[in-house]
Amino acid sequence: MKGDEFYVWAAGRLRGVAYDALLQGQFRHSEVTVDYDDMRKLVWETGVGITRGWSGFQLTFSVNAKAADTRLDEAPDAHFWGGLYLSRQFD
């Protein structure tokens, strides 16, 4: 990045899940697993943010959301988080 830049961005994704090894046991016995019927087969993710770049640096503020991976009663319907990220590009 050679010059200054400023932009607003948005991203979205819909992911299909056939098997989640972390939640369903990794093809082996596990004490805690989630049944296939309790898993969401489609999981959405989205994010919005603003980015400012200057002299090889970028500062980004973003807010993100993701649907829960399961339909369990104890699980929230979605997860939300945000961040402030500073990055440096080296040529």
The answer on pLDDT for 87 being more than 60 is yes
* C-alpha gyration radius of the chain: 18
Tell me the mean pLDDT in the region 50-68: 95
What does the pLDDT look like over 28-55, one tens digit per residue? 777 878 888 888 899 999 999 999 999 9
Q: Which residue, 60, 63, 61, is CA-closest to 82?
A: 63
Q: pTM surpassing 0.75?
A: no
The answer on pLDDT for 74 being more than 60 is yes
Instruction: Find the domain containing 23 and state its range.
Output: 5-88
- Number of structural domains (the chain) is 1
Question: Which is more confidently placed, 14 or 37?
Answer: 14
